[in-house]
Structure 1
Amino acid sequence: MLPIQAVYNELVSQLTTQPRVLLQAPPGAGKSTWLPLQLMLDGHFKRIIMLEPRRLAARNIAGFLAAQLGESVGERVGLRIRQEVKVSARTQLEIVTEGTLTRLLQADPELDGVDLLIFDEFHERSLAADTALAFALESQMALRDDLHVLVMSATLDSERYQQFLTCPLVRSDGRSFPIEEIYVPLKDESRWLEHIPAMVRKALNEQTGSILVFLPGQKEIRYVSDALRDTFSAQPDLMLATLSGDQDKQAQQAAIEPAPAGMRKVVLTTNVAETSLTIEGIRIVVDSGKRRAAHYNLRTGVSELVTQSISRSSAVQRAGRAGRIEAGVVYRLGSKALFERRDAHDRADILCSDLSGLMLEAKVWGSEVTELALLDAPTEAQLSKAQALLRSLELIDDRDRVTVLGKQVQSLGADPRYGHMLLKSKVLEADYPGITRLGCYFIALLESRVSVSAELSIALQQQVQNPHGAFRQQLSYWLRRAQLQQAQGELAIEHLPVVIALAFPDRLAKRRGQGWVLANGAGVNAHKEYWLDANYLAIADLGGHKGQQIFSATAFEPKQLYAALPYLFTEQDVCEFEQKSGQFIHEHRICLGHWVYLAKPAAGPVDTALRTQAWLTLVRQQGLLIFNGYADCEDLLTRMALAQRLYPEEFRAQDEQSLLMRLESWLGPYLDTIKQLPQLKKLDLHAALLSTLEWSQQQRLNALLPQRIMVPSGSNIRIQYQLDGPARLAVRMQEVYGMSHSPVLCEGRLPVLMELLSPAQRPLQLTQDLAHFWQSSYREVQKEMKGRYPKHFWPDDPATAQATNRVKSRM
């Protein structure tokens, strides 16, 4: 009996009475296979859609469930994934992948006829799953109160998920079979991969049965495969297989099938086998503890694949593959202490991904990303970057509304970059024959990842002459999407820069020094072998350290793009002050993003507004130190900053950073007549700074934080203010006789440190309590000073004595 069967009745009760239910069940419990089929057979729901995060798992689950019924996929159990749809009027249980469910919801927000949505393995928290769940919840609340949602996984942050979904939790405890854990400590973490072959040999020698080895990617799979070649040659009862999402169906099925009788299988896999997948005969897992994850670089706009440690929950999922059919064992690379220090759960994709696809989906849905029911909220920086990309692709307008083209691209169900490129290519086809077909070849090359040259024109021609199997499969798919025939003949390779610009307008680069500057403003490194003499580069693939390494590109001339895609370029009159020459540059510029394509002297005199903006830009670059009078204004700036700190309800922030942010409002009016740099430097900065305060605020500032204080002798002594610490008043002791208490500033909120000086202006005493000083330490000072300065007045009762700034004979 499967563990899930023990809680089936409770789950059905909750599912049929509650709109949302959370199910936590360990690997092997039967939640992905037995449960959906039983719900269908028992007739609790008319039509069920179950979302699986991976195509391989979706295909195998659909095949397994259909086989349980003695049917083919497409009858009562259907499948809907990319490049493969098998459903019919008889279908009651449909297995779909994440993007597919989002498209179903977009096409029919009510999901007519569907009464249960199951989100399997939700702990993976892909961006597509978060999107689909957000749409499903909104549909449920606004349109379909009879639609039920079941969210399930082996490893969930259940309390947090329950609070988010406001739903009951059903928990299935226990695993089908026990799993022994063996830890293999590491001395050098950087050389972790070298330990995997030895771990596999150790497992082969110590255990019986087949082995599943988890590795981050294809490179590591090849390394381990090569390292184990001698082991497999020496043991004829061993067979090696590899499993990844990049393989075709036949190769994947060969890896999943059980080993022949008398044989043991070692399957080297990526995390594609982590969830919802049973590989017959596997009772040993060797876990590297690593995975390849995409992290979005906000600076370059590139999603970089990085190798990182998995979370504890992912490790539990991987180990669960060993206990699906009998008692198993997991060999974990690293110590148990290191394992326990890992994060509890993997970071959600929505926090480290390009959100342009999500933003487009939300806008077509009729919402904003910030309005969706999301478990984790993305950052403002992510949203801003996504917005900029969608604008550059013409998918939203200047008012952030989705365009007609945006809706067409969304309906394709493709990445916004690829969708835009294909649809625009069709529009350009009449003037650029063959560009749509070239676009299909381009996407197929990138998605199949079989390129052997960084120069895209060479890589494409190589696939034309000798296509790789993975490339052929992708090309066939994209040609169908573009409604093109598998035509032979020459590729219109001359249009390649236009194709790249349609998909990656932010990666059009201009040479800058030893590297390149992208249209989005980020800098990237030069390639060691290619494009050494080029001035402009259309880049398709970036990554590596800090996202600055060019993986594939081709050179181009801007005039080609200016003719084909004029919307990418902006024209403007620019006025800048060039410090090197000390002259204004007044130009008409044609720019592509952050770099200049063409520049020529602007017609007519310099516009006052442009010149003012140029001065403001210069001041922002150099700060207030550019003004000759800055030193004389430091005291005013300190006083204004203190006023804001002590009286925030009366004064706004007046630190230099805040002032530079709003230069237009307070400095701009003083710049209309400034035409030369020397004039700017002589500007009355003090008056300009005071203009940031209303007259009443200026009076209040002088009352709270006066520049000077009149002491009993009649002298006006300057106060030294500081941002951290008390105000300082340096004054000769004779001038404050008769002062019974220390001065008070800011209604007592700012203490005053009095530095009492000798007749020769040397420090005698520091005090914040003058009354206490007169009554205590003054006697010692008096005794010493009478002998040193006999001509000066040293009274016995300084608190009531007459103050003076003269010697005794002239008092």
Structure 2
Amino acid sequence: MLPVQNIYQQLVTTLQSNPITLLQAPPGAGKSTWLPLQLMRDGHFKRIVMLEPRRLAARNIANYLAQCQNENVGQSVGLRVRGESKVSSNTRLEIVTEGMLTRMLQNDPELSDIDLLIFDEFHERSIAADTSLAFALETQSALRDDLTILLMSATLDTERYTQFFDCPVIQSSGRSYPIDEVYIPIKDESRWLDAIAPLIKQALNEQSGSALVFLPGQFEIVGVQQALNDLPSNCLVAILFGEQDKANQQAAIAPAPEGMRKVVLTTNVAETSLTIEGIRIVIDSGKRRAASYNLKTGVTELTTQSISRSSAVQRAGRAGRIESGVVYRLGSKQTFERRNSHDNPEILTSDISQLMLEAKQWGANISELTLLDTPTAQQCTQAMSLLTMLEAIDGKGKLTKLGSNMLGFGADIRLAHMLLKAQALEAELPGIYRLALYLVALLESRINSANELSLALHSQQQRPHPVFKQQLKYWQSRLKVTDSNSELNTEYLGLLVALAYPDRIAKKRGNGYLLANGAGADLNTDFWHNDDYLAIASMGGHKGTRIFAATALSPFELQDYLPHLFTTLTRCEFDEKTARFIHQDEVKLGAITLTSQPSKQKLDKTERAKAWLNLFTKQGFALFNEQPDAQQLLIRMSLASQFMPDTFPAISEQQLIETADDWLGVYLQDIKTLEQLKKFNYFEALQNCFDWPQQTALKALLPLRLTVPSGSNIKINYQLDGPAKLSVRMQEVYGLTSTPMLANGNLPLLMELLSPGKRSLQLTQDLAHFWASSYRDVQKEMKGRYPKHFWPDDPANSVATNRVKSKM
């Protein structure tokens, strides 16, 4: 009896009375297999759709459940993954991958006839899963109050999810057998891969049964496979990863022949919802390949990262599915315990362009979707920029017809844009569509070894890699294109790459390149390109700036096909190096300047003022000669906004720099030279940031000068942090019994009392206390040094003076 059977009735009751439910069940509980099948058989729901994060798991679950029904897939149990759809009018339980569920929702927001959505392995938190869940929640609240949602995983962040969704959680025990843990510390973390093959051999010697070895990707799998060529003859080595064809995947999953042991080298494709018979040893490298988005370059690169503790638990669970097992973890137990509890969700670490486009197709902004984690403003800005370059949205941010078609294409939106545009250009540019299919197959197969894309394509045409052949066959079949044996015409290759990666069009700059998105790029060490312009298809490496695959490009040939990328403008700015104005007519492609020549337009005052403002934005107030009164005014205005925010608007030096066009621009129109600009007195311009009543209030609350008892008008020195300061000769404040108040008592005044020779005698913020205490010591000393000046015994009640005794 499977553990999930023990909570089945409780779960059914909960599902029937709640719109959303969480099920936490360890590996082996039966949540991905027995549970959906039983829900279908019992007829609690008319039609169930279960989302699986990976195609391999989706196929295997669908096949297993169909076998349980003594049927083929496509009857009561259906399957829908990329390139494969097996459903019928009899289908009541459908296993789908994440992108498929999003398409189903976009095509039919009401999800007609579907009344239960199951999100399996929800802890993986892919962008596609977050997207489809957000849409499903909106469908549930606005269109289908009878739609039920079940989120399932072995390692859910239960407390957070129950609070966010305001829903109940059902917990099941697992059917996992006991699993021993063995930690293998390593001295040099950078050489972790070298330790894997010896560890596999150690585990095979110490344990019985077959082994499942978790590695980050195909590169590591191939390396370890080569290092295992001396295993005993009864040990078979199999490999398993997501891009394999179905036959090789099934061979890796199949149990070892009788009398044989199997070592399966896999990525995290085998981490969840997959049982490989005979496995009782798991060897965990503790690594995974995960998307890391570089906001500066706009490149999503796959980097090798340490897995979280929850992923490690999932992997270890593979060892205890059939019998008691053991997990060998590379690294110490202390290192393991320092890992994050859960992996970061993809929505915070990846390009969100697809999500943004999906949201626009859905009729919403990202901010309106119910998302567990919200992308940053930077991610949204980057996505808007890319979608505009891909013609998926217009200048107002609205979805275009092309953008809608790109979403329904079933490919990365960059490649969809390229294929759709190539298809439209085929009549004008014969052969471009066939070339586009080859390029998509090359990029999706990830087997390219040549930096020059044209060489890579010719190489694959002559000696195709199996994965490339599989991808090319898929796209030719999908788009109903019959291939020919003729040589590829790579004349249009630069245009195709630019259609897919317009932000990575690059212009040579020194030893590297400047990208259209403003980032810099470096050539790979063995890259032989020296072209002035490149179209880059693949980047990554340290800081995401290394060029891996590109082709030469003539940017002006793009103007007929991508005119929206080009901008004609007049640039007017002051060149600090040459100390002169630059007034040029330019053609730009993003951040790249393609042509620049002296402007034919007359330089007007407004343009010149903009140039001065740009210089001010760079240098700030340091651009102007020192102006104590203006500097003090800025401090007083800032203090006023701090102490009385209801009366005065917020003012700060940085804010003024950012909004200089509003308050300073008009004053700069008649300034013709840098010398004039430096001498410009910005007091009036700054003062007018406050209206007349505010200026009047400022003078009363934070006066520039203070009249002391002698009648002198003494300047106050303000500072942003700390008290204001009044430096005045002591004789001039006789008779003053308390320290003056500023800003309605909010700002203390520090009085610096000076000698007749203007040397500092005392600093005080409590004048009355000074008169009654330490003044006596000052009086004794000063009477002898300045006998002609007045030093009364009772200064608090004496007459102030700015004269010597003889002239009082």
Q: Into which bin does the TM-score normalised by the smaller protein fall?
A: over 0.9
1:482 positional shift = 3.2
Contact (CA 8 Å) 1:624, 1:630: kept in 2 or not? no
Paired amino acid for 2:22: L
Q: Does 1:283 align with 2:283?
A: no
Task: Show the 5 A alignment for 1:665-680.
Answer: 665-680=662-677
Partner SS for 2:796: coil
Which whole-Å CA distance do the structure 2 matches of 1:739 and 1:413 have between them? 83
Partner of 1:218: 218
- Aligned equivalent of 1:698, options 695, 709, 715: 695
Partner of 1:47: 47
Partner of 2:146: 146
Contact (CA 8 Å) 2:584, 2:596: kept in 1 or not? yes
- Aligned equivalent of 1:342, options 298, 319, 339: 339
Contact (CA 8 Å) 1:629, 1:686: kept in 2 or not? no
Which whole-Å CA distance do the structure 2 matches of 1:238 and 1:445 have between them? 34
For residues 392-444 of structure 1, what are the alpha-carbon distances to aligned partners after superposition, in whole Å with 9 as ceiling and x for unaligned? 11111111111111111112122211111111112211221111111111111
Partner of 2:200: 200
1:210 positional shift = 1.1
Partner SS for 2:795: coil
- Aligned equivalent of 2:410, options 393, 408, 413: 413
Partner of 2:776: 779
Contact (CA 8 Å) 1:284, 1:322: kept in 2 or not? yes
Paired amino acid for 1:47: R
348 and 717 in structure 1: CA distance in 2 versus 1, 3 angstrom threshold? same
1:630 positional shift = 4.2
Which whole-Å CA distance do the structure 2 matches of 1:259 and 1:202 have between them? 20
Task: Show the 5 A alignment for 1:426-505.
Answer: 426-505=423-502
1:31 positional shift = 0.7
Contact (CA 8 Å) 1:350, 1:376: kept in 2 or not? yes
Partner of 1:806: 803
- Aligned equivalent of 2:742, options 732, 740, 745: 745
496 and 631 in structure 1: CA distance in 2 versus 1, 3 angstrom threshold? farther
Contact (CA 8 Å) 2:292, 2:301: kept in 1 or not? yes
Contact (CA 8 Å) 1:239, 1:266: kept in 2 or not? yes
Which whole-Å CA distance do the structure 1 matches of 2:757 and 2:238 have between them? 92
Contact (CA 8 Å) 1:422, 1:482: kept in 2 or not? no
Contact (CA 8 Å) 2:82, 2:410: kept in 1 or not? no
- Aligned equivalent of 1:580, options 577, 582, 597: 577
Which whole-Å CA distance do the structure 2 matches of 1:104 and 1:547 have between them? 35
Task: Show the 5 A alignment for 1:167-206.
Answer: 167-206=167-206
Task: Show the 5 A alignment for 1:249-264.
Answer: 249-264=246-261
1:745 positional shift = 0.8
For residues 734-782 of structure 1, what are the alpha-carbon distances to aligned partners after superposition, in whole Å with 9 as ceiling and x for unaligned? 2211111112111111111111122222222111101001111111121
Task: Show the 5 A alignment for 1:33-44.
Answer: 33-44=33-44
Which whole-Å CA distance do the structure 2 matches of 1:142 and 1:184 have between them? 53
Paired amino acid for 2:23: L
1:345 positional shift = 1.2
Partner of 2:682: 685
Which whole-Å CA distance do the structure 1 matches of 2:517 and 2:531 have between them? 19
Partner SS for 2:319: helix
Partner of 2:712: 715
- Aligned equivalent of 2:306, options 309, 330, 346: 309
Report which stretch shifted further, 532-541 or 478-487: 478-487
1:196 positional shift = 2.4
Which whole-Å CA distance do the structure 1 matches of 2:261 and 2:288 have between them? 25
Partner of 1:507: 504
Partner of 2:523: 526
Which whole-Å CA distance do the structure 2 matches of 1:648 and 1:544 have between them? 49
Contact (CA 8 Å) 1:629, 1:685: kept in 2 or not? no
Partner of 2:23: 23
Contact (CA 8 Å) 1:290, 1:310: kept in 2 or not? yes
Which whole-Å CA distance do the structure 1 matches of 2:564 and 2:742 have between them? 60
Contact (CA 8 Å) 2:422, 2:436: kept in 1 or not? yes
Partner SS for 1:563: coil
Which whole-Å CA distance do the structure 2 matches of 1:553 and 1:630 have between them? 54
- Aligned equivalent of 2:547, options 527, 546, 550: 550
Contact (CA 8 Å) 1:452, 1:459: kept in 2 or not? yes
Contact (CA 8 Å) 2:27, 2:174: kept in 1 or not? no
Paired amino acid for 1:455: E
Partner SS for 2:32: coil
Partner of 1:129: 129
438 and 229 in structure 1: CA distance in 2 versus 1, 3 angstrom threshold? same
Gaps of 5+ in 1: none
Task: Show the 5 A alignment for 1:313-328.
Answer: 313-328=310-325
Contact (CA 8 Å) 1:312, 1:344: kept in 2 or not? yes
Partner SS for 2:152: strand
Report which stretch shifted further, 357-366 or 168-177: 168-177
Q: Does 1:615 align with 2:612?
A: yes
Which whole-Å CA distance do the structure 2 matches of 1:712 and 1:608 have between them? 50
Partner of 2:764: 767
Which whole-Å CA distance do the structure 1 matches of 2:293 and 2:673 have between them? 45
Partner SS for 1:343: coil
600 and 222 in structure 1: CA distance in 2 versus 1, 3 angstrom threshold? same
Contact (CA 8 Å) 2:79, 2:86: kept in 1 or not? yes
1:14 positional shift = 2.0
Partner of 1:795: 792
Which whole-Å CA distance do the structure 1 matches of 2:769 and 2:219 have between them? 78
Which whole-Å CA distance do the structure 2 matches of 1:331 and 1:149 have between them? 37
Partner SS for 1:799: helix
Partner SS for 1:180: strand
1:531 positional shift = 5.0
Partner of 1:298: 295
Which whole-Å CA distance do the structure 2 matches of 1:646 and 1:640 have between them? 10
1:799 positional shift = 0.8
Which whole-Å CA distance do the structure 2 matches of 1:630 and 1:341 have between them? 55
Partner of 1:592: 589
Paired amino acid for 2:39: L
Partner SS for 2:80: strand
Gaps of 5+ in 2: none
Paired amino acid for 2:65: L
Paired amino acid for 1:513: G
1:629 positional shift = 4.7
- Aligned equivalent of 2:357, options 353, 356, 360: 360
Contact (CA 8 Å) 1:590, 1:598: kept in 2 or not? yes
Partner SS for 1:156: coil
Q: Does 1:651 align with 2:648?
A: yes
1:453 positional shift = 0.5
Paired amino acid for 2:800: A
- Aligned equivalent of 1:566, options 563, 567, 576: 563
Contact (CA 8 Å) 1:497, 1:561: kept in 2 or not? no
Report which stretch shifted further, 121-130 or 663-672: 663-672
Aligned residues: 808
1:28 positional shift = 0.7
For residues 73-104 of structure 1, what are the alpha-carbon distances to aligned partners after superposition, in whole Å with 9 as ceiling and x for unaligned? 22222211111222222222211100011111
1:632 positional shift = 4.6
Which whole-Å CA distance do the structure 1 matches of 2:729 and 2:98 have between them? 80
Partner SS for 2:617: helix
Partner of 1:58: 58
Partner of 1:90: 90
Which whole-Å CA distance do the structure 2 matches of 1:328 and 1:721 have between them? 74
